[in-house]
């Protein structure tokens, strides 16, 4: 188990630049299996999930070459290996998006049940049903799925639930399928139109990405040559920094972001009394003297997205009055509040989806363990506003690297703002 040892921060000032989005780079890399020619990806974030996806692609035969600090070139093989390395695939959720491109390109995909943050069941029924409608034969034996299809055919697919990765996986599969596919009740997260736009540049015919109905005319011959996929800024990272600024800022600018991707969060922050200014690619946050309570419901994008729920909960513990949080997407994404209460918060967990927060309550440094990526970030925020030192333990996977990125920026700014806060990392015995 690794850990971060955190001393409270006083005022944070300065500029924090945002890097490429975790939930975009991983799908861009998966898309390489649709191609027969190489393409470049720019604005690559250095996070463990990227490394895991690279390992999976390399095992499928893709040549992955680092080109400079933030660029990578992906060269797909003539005949990709259709069996995913089960150990790596089981370690993160995004491995599931490979099954669409792999099946469409090779006629087969063999993979385990994907892993991912423990925030709920994380089923894959929508993927399997969608690919079956496109002509895939689905078999499962001892937790290993085998999908096979001579040639996928376009189909009309309605998602019973809005699923980001299911939308992306089927959209990519449909690009090579024969005929037209219409995805209805599709997810609208910004990473989806970003992926569609790049694929269209390379010869795909996708329309409606970013809306709830996406139409794909299949049979494309994609050419990635001389194309660069620039990864969009990580909106969850940007929003987490904005929440930090609202808690501990003097005046903090979150740079290299896309404010409209944060609209749901910014509306909630304004309701809490936070001063916000937006520019073309920046958001400037000034912490108010007093925070007001907010009733929050998580929704699919462009609503208040579930990934902001846990960091925003920390802000609500400091608001004057009673707030409510309704986590509508995942049934396991409020468990971390028990540890926030150990730090001094007053959060009543009414059921797996609903919580009442009474504030403001002083928070005190504690030893806590991160159950998932975004709750881990919430504990970091809580530790920064707590009295006394905290230890945030985490598994040395993705959480470490995202948090490292987080620390790298915050500690840099903290030091620049002449604050003595010290972020130390180390391994617990
Ligand atoms: C994506 O997860 C993101 N991950 C998540 O970010 C994000 O929280 C989530 O979308 C919601 O915005 C990636 O893009 C890698 P879903 P995803 O499939 O796609 C149900 C982070 O911290 N569902 O949209 O796995 C499911 O139970 C992560 O960066 C089915 O029922 O989420 C859930 O209730 C955490 N059957 C809802 O859909 C399926 O086959 C949303 O899940 C698939 C999903």
Alpha-carbon gap, residue 422 to 254, rounded angstroms: 21
The low-confidence residues of the chain, meaning pLDDT below 50, are 398-402, 405, 411-429
φ and ψ of 265, to 5 deg? -70, -45
Q: Tell me, what's the pLDDT at 127?
A: 98
Establish whether residue 131 lines the binding site of ligand 1, counting it when its CB lies within 6 angstroms of any ligand atom.
Answer: no
Establish whether residue 234 lines the binding site of ligand 1, counting it when its CB lies within 6 angstroms of any ligand atom.
Answer: no
Q: How far is the CA of 329 from the centre of ligand 1 (A)?
A: 8
Taking alpha carbons only, the member of 377, 386, 353, 423 closest to residue 120 is 353
108: β partners: 148
Q: How would DSSP label each residue in 78-133?
A: SS---B--HHHHTT-GGGGGGHHHHHHHHSEEEEEPP---SSS----HHHHHHHHH
Q: How far is the CA of 190 from the centre of ligand 1 (A)?
A: 14
pLDDT tens, residue by residue, 145-172:
999 999 999 999 999 999 999 999 999 9
Nearest CA to ligand 1 atom 41: 163
Sheet with 205-207, edge to edge strand ranges:
156-158, 180-184, 213-217, 205-207
Q: Tell me, what's the pLDDT at 406?
A: 54
Sheet with 71-75, edge to edge strand ranges:
63-66, 71-75, 39-42, 228-230
Nearest CA to ligand 1 atom 40: 124
Q: Tell me, what's the pLDDT at 410?
A: 53
Q: What percent of the chain has pLDDT over 70?
A: 92
* Radius of gyration (C-alpha) of the chain in whole angstroms: 22
Establish whether residue 370 lines the binding site of ligand 1, counting it when its CB lies within 6 angstroms of any ligand atom.
Answer: no
As to burial, measured by CB atoms within 10 angstroms (0-12 exposed, 13-18 middle, 19+ buried), residue 230 is: middle
Q: Tell me, what's the pLDDT at 415?
A: 34
Taking alpha carbons only, the member of 385, 429, 377, 427 closest to residue 407 is 377
**What pTM was estimated for this model as a whole?**
0.92
Taking alpha carbons only, the member of 395, 309, 317 closest to residue 353 is 309
- Our answer to whether residue 117 is catalytic in this structure is yes
Q: How far is the CA of 98 from the centre of ligand 1 (A)?
A: 15
φ and ψ of 229, to 5 deg? -95, 105
Question: Kind and range of the H or E element at 427?
Answer: strand 423-427
For the chain, domains (ranges, CATH) are 2-19+233-427 (3.65.10.10), 22-230 (3.65.10.10)
Alpha-carbon gap, residue 93 to 166, rounded angstroms: 11
Half-sphere exposure of 147 toward its Cβ, with a 13 Å CA cutoff?
Answer: 30
pLDDT tens, residue by residue, 253-286:
999 999 999 999 999 999 999 999 999 999 999 9
Q: Tell me, what's the pLDDT at 395?
A: 73
Convert 264-291 to b/e letters by CB count within 10 Å (16 or more is b).
bbbebbeebbbebeeeeebbbbebeeeb
CA of 42: how far to CAs of 24, 160, 192, 227, in Å? Answer: 11, 34, 17, 10
CA of 361: how far to CAs of 65, 276, 344, in Å? Answer: 50, 24, 6
Ligand 1 probe mutation, 30, 94, 166, 264, most atoms within 8 A of CB? 166
């Amino acid at each position: 188990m690794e850990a971060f040892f955190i001393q409270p921060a006083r005022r944070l000032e300065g500029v924090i630049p945002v890097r490429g989005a975790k939930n975009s780079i991983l799908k861009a890399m998966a898309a390489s299996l649709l191609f027969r020619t190489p393409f470049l990806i720019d604005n690559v974030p250095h996070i463990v999930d990227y490394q895991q996806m690279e390992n999976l692609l390399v095992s499928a035969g893709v040549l992955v070459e680092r080109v400079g600090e933030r660029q990578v070139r992906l060269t797909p093989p003539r005949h990709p290996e259709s069996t995913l390395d089960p150990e790596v695939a089981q370690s993160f959720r995004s491995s599931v998006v490979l099954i669409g491109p792999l099946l469409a390109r090779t006629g087969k995909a063999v993979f385990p049940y994907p892993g991912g943050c423990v925030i709920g069941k994380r089923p894959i029924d929508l993927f399997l049903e969608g690919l079956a409608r496109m002509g895939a034969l689905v078999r499962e034996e001892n937790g290993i799925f085998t999908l096979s299809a001579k040639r996928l055919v376009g189909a009309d697919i309605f998602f019973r639930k809005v699923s980001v990765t299911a939308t992306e996986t089927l959209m990519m599969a449909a690009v090579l399928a024969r005929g037209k596919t219409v995805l209805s009740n599709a997810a609208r997260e910004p990473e989806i139109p970003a992926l569609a736009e790049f694929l269209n540049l390379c010869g795909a015919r996708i329309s409606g990405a970013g809306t709830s109905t996406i139409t794909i005319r299949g049979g494309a011959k994609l050419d990635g040559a001389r194309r660069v996929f620039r990864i969009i800024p990580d909106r969850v990272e940007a929003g987490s920094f904005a929440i930090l600024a609202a808690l501990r800022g003097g005046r903090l600018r979150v740079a290299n972001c896309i404010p409209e991707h944060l609209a749901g969060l910014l509306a909630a922050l304004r309701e809490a009394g936070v001063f916000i200014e937006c520019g073309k690619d920046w958001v400037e946050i000034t912490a108010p003297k007093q925070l007001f309570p907010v009733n929050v419901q998580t929704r699919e994008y462009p609503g208040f997205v579930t990934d902001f729920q846990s960091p925003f909960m920390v802000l609500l513990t400091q608001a004057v009055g009673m707030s409510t949080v309704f986590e509508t997407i995942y049934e396991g994404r409020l468990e971390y509040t028990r540890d926030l209460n150990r730090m001094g918060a007053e959060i009543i967990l009414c059921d797996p989806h609903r919580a009442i927060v009474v504030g403001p309550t002083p928070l005190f440094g504690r030893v806590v363990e991160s159950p998932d990526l975004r709750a881990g970030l919430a504990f970091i925020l809580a530790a920064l506003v707590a009295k006394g030192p905290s230890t945030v333990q985490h598994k040395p996977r993705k959480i470490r690297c995202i948090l490292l990125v987080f620390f790298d920026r915050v500690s840099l700014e903290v030091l620049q703002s002449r604050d003595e806060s010290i972020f130390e990392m180390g391994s617990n015995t």
